[in-house]
């Protein structure tokens, strides 16, 4: 019997801050976080002013890393992998400090170059998003990595000295910054992007953004929109909304900036430079939006150690569903698989004109429905729908998560209020959701009336006035309200033949 790899702790010593995250790999290949912490270091401030780390900065960093080591041990990590990036690369005494860390704390810190940083950032950012081609940028405190990918494979990468803290300290003197300072900063960013020959996006390509600066800008935007999905990973910031968020932080004095909803206190002094840099990148590559990734270098390192490659989108979605269901003791794999089989067999005929996305969503909904049983059996549809919006579902777009939640909720109640999902789902999708929800509700009803331990074959015949389901394994069935609801939804009478009758 195979066992999952032991938990691994990843320590990322960045130019602005440091983080530790302890990961364990679940049976399906999905990473689950056991523990984590973050600390502001501001290493790039020392490097840019004196080319070396001061004694005070190194002492503070040692205290942070000692705390990180304790977190790793407390979470049961059997391996600690630590990396340092731009500021440590640029510091004249960076390697001396890393030797001190090895000697005093027993932590081997690898000083990775810009190419390795970009590669890890690409793996972490793209693996959990439904994207195939485009550009990824990872803005840290001291540098920005940009990667081009095609078919979910890395093609080329660039590392540029365009970090948020570095840009802010170099160009922004006034509080709030004057328009001339912002223009000089953006001109500098444009020049470096041009010199590096960062390409424009092609048709159908996506700009993916990761790092604390873009996540904070996304949080600011999301707070003002009444958005229904709590997870930032997969959130899309349009170019217009990005401009509004950038203008808001740039026009607010530092002493008031930390009161902006969604902005972290620790980023108040560096957010403006990073925001202007990101805005310039968006303009330069002609992106219409940024798809935000909640994952980056740390996840890229962990996946490189534990999971290896970047799989295709459907595989990631299947892994995410499997990892989610495994967390709930009330979930029964056999029941879920049978319900999914029944739903998929009916969807092939009943949802034929609705496209593959809806059929896939119904299949996923059928599989995860019973996670709601862990909260309450009778309200399992609603609880499962809520969990979908609040959990980690790598590989799913926010629209796909909202669609999955809407199907679960509507399966229980055809008049369910879907207005909270309106920022993600369109009003004209209500009828399609209703058809998918009807398939799920019917599949659930059929599965629980078939003997355990056997596959359920369904023959579905769609005629002009009726839909006939022939299910030999079905021990008995009566239409109740489902029959009337089916007729309202599909405009045909439902006929169910049980036991081969």
**Tell me: the pLDDT tens digits for 443-455?**
998 898 898 888 8
> Model's pTM, two decimal places?
0.85
| Residue 501 reports pLDDT greater than 60 | no
Asked if residue 245 lies in contact with residue 237, where contact means CB atoms within 8 angstroms, the answer is yes
Alpha carbon distance 337, 1 (integer Å): 22
- The predicted structure's pLDDT at residue 1: 37
In this structure, are residues 292 and 215 in contact, taking their beta carbons and an 8 Å threshold? yes
What integer pLDDT is reported at residue 303 of this predicted model? 86
The beta strand positions in 66-205, using DSSP E, are 79-84, 109-111, 134-139, 144-150, 153-160
Tell whether the model's pLDDT for residue 26 goes beyond 80: no
Tell me the per-residue pLDDT of 52-80, one tens digit each, with 9 for 90 and over.
Answer: 999 999 999 999 999 999 999 988 888 99
End-to-end, the C-alpha distance of the chain in Å comes to 44
pLDDT band at 27 (very low <50, low <70, confident <90, very high): low
User: What pLDDT, in 10s, does the model give residues 380-402?
Assistant: 999 999 999 988 889 999 999 99
Sheet holding 109-111: strands in order across?
31-40, 17-25, 8-13, 79-84, 109-111
pLDDT higher than 80, residue 3: no
On the 0-12 / 13-18 / 19+ scale of CB atoms within 10 A, 311 is middle
| C-beta of residue 232 within 8 angstroms of C-beta of residue 310 | no
Does residue 2 register a pLDDT over 60?
Answer: no
Tell whether the model's pLDDT for residue 479 goes beyond 80: no
| DSSP code at position 236 | E
Share of the chain above pLDDT 70, in %: 97
Residue 27, C-beta contacts closer than 8 angstroms, at least 6 positions apart: 4, 322, 323, 326
Tokens of 377: 């059996």
Q: Kindly report, residue by residue over 145-173, the tens digit of the pLDDT.
A: 999 999 999 999 999 999 998 999 999 99
* Segment 446-473 mean pLDDT: 91
Which of 81-85, 193-197, 450-454 shows the lowest per-residue confidence on average (mean pLDDT)? 450-454
pLDDT (tens digit per residue) in 286-327: 999 999 999 989 989 988 886 556 788 888 898 889 888 888
3-state secondary structure of 416: coil
- Integer Cα distance of 128 and 301 in angstroms: 14
| CB-neighbour burial class of residue 100 (10 A; exposed 0-12, middle 13-18, buried 19+) | middle
Crossing angle for the helix pair 271-285 and 179-195, to the nearest 10 degrees? 50
Q: What would you report as the CA-atom Rg of the chain, rounded to the nearest whole angstrom?
A: 26
**Complete DSSP assignment for 356-399:** HHHHHHHHHHHHHGGGGGGT-STTHHHHHHHHHHHS--TT--HH
CA dist., res. 113 & res. 88, Å (int)? 10
CA distance 138 to 229: 23
Quick check: 133 pLDDT over 90?
yes
3-state secondary structure of 178: coil
Q: Are strands 289-292 and 236-238 parallel, antiparallel or unpaired?
A: antiparallel
Q: How confident is the model at residue 4 (pLDDT cuts 50, 70, 90)?
A: low
The C-alpha atoms of residue 173 and residue 189 are separated, in whole angstroms, by: 17
DSSP 3-state assignment of 265?
Answer: helix
Asked if the model's pLDDT at residue 15 lies above 60, the reply is yes
- Rounded CA-CA distance 76/363 in Å is 36
Average pLDDT over residues 205-220: 94
Whether 30 shows a pLDDT value over 90: the answer reads no
| Nearest to 291, CA basis, from 220, 346, 239 | 239
State how far the Cα of 169 lies from the Cα of 46, in Å rounded to an integer: 11
* Strand ordering across the sheet containing 206-210: 153-160, 144-150, 134-139, 206-210, 289-292, 236-238
Flag the least confident range among 23-27, 113-117, 168-172, 292-296: 23-27
State both tokens at 153.
Answer: 């494979």
| Tokens coding 236 | 């899309």
> pLDDT at residue 500 above 70?
no
Alpha carbon distance 83, 300 (integer Å): 12
Report how far apart, in Å, the C-alpha atoms of 28 and of each of 5, 116, 162, 302 are: 12, 27, 37, 15
Q: Between 134 and 16, where is the model more confident?
A: 134
- The phi, psi pair for 329, rounded to 5°, reads -70, -25
Looking at residue 382, its pLDDT comes to 94
Arithmetic mean of pLDDT, 32-41: 87
| 468 contact partners, CB below 8 Å, separation of at least 6 | 460, 461, 495, 496, 497
Question: What is the arithmetic mean of pLDDT over 225-251?
Answer: 92
Look up residue 161 and give its two tokens.
């000295």
- Mean confidence (pLDDT) of the chain: 90
């Amino acid at each position: 019997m195979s066992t999952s790899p032991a938990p691994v702790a990843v320590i990322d010593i960045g130019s602005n801050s440091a983080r530790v995250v302890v990961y364990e790999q679940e049976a399906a290949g999905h990473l689950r976080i056991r523990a984590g912490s973050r600390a502001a270091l501001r290493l790039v401030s020392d490097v840019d002013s004196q080319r070396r780390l001061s004694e005070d900065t190194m002492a503070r960093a040692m205290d942070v890393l000692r705390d990180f080591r304790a977190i790793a041990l407390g979470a049961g990590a059997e391996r600690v992998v630590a990396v340092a990036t731009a500021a440590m690369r640029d510091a004249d005494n960076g390697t001396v400090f890393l030797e001190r860390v090895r000697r005093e704390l027993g932590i081997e810190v690898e000083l990775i170059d810009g190419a390795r940083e970009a590669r890890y950032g690409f793996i972490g950012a793209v693996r959990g998003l439904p994207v195939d081609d485009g550009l990824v940028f990872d803005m840290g405190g001291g540098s920005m990595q940009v990667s081009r990918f095609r078919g979910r494979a890395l093609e080329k990468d660039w590392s540029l000295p365009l970090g948020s803290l570095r840009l802010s300290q170099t160009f922004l003197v006034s509080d709030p910054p004057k328009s001339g300072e912002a223009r000089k900063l953006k001109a500098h960013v444009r020049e470096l992007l041009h010199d590096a020959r960062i390409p424009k996006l092609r048709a159908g390509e996506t700009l993916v953004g990761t790092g604390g600066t873009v996540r904070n800008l996304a949080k600011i935007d999301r707070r003002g929109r009444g958005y229904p999905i709590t997870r930032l990973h997969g959130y899309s910031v349009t170019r217009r909304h990005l401009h509004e968020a950038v203008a808001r932080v740039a026009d607010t004095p530092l002493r008031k900036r930390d009161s902006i909803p969604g902005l972290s206190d620790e980023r108040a002094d560096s957010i403006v430079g990073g925001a202007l840099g990101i805005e310039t990148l968006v303009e330069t590559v002609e992106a219409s939006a940024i798809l935000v990734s909640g994952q980056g270098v740390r996840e890229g390192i962990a996946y490189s150690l534990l999971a290896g490659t970047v799989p295709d989108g459907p595989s990631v979605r299947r892994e995410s569903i499997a990892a989610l269901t495994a967390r709930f003791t009330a979930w029964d794999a056999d029941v879920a698989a049978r319900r999914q089989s029944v739903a998929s067999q009916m969807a092939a005929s009943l949802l034929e004109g609705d496209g593959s996305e809806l059929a896939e969503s119904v299949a996923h909904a059928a599989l995860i429905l019973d996670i709601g049983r862990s909260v309450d059996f009778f309200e399992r549809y609603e609880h499962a729908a809520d969990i979908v919006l609040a959990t980690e579902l790598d590989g799913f777009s926010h629209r796909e998560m909202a669609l999955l939640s809407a199907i679960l909720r509507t399966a229980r109640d055809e008049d369910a209020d879907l207005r909270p999902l309106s920022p993600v789902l369109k009003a004209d999708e209500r009828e399609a959701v209703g058809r998918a929800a009807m398939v799920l509700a019917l599949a659930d009803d059929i599965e629980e009336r078939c003997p355990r331990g056997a596959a359920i074959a369904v023959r579905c015949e769609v005629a002009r006035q009726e839909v006939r389901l022939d299910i030999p394994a079905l021990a008995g069935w009566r239409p109740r309200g489902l029959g009337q609801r089916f007729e309202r939804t599909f405009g045909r009478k439902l006929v169910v033949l049980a036991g081969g009758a």
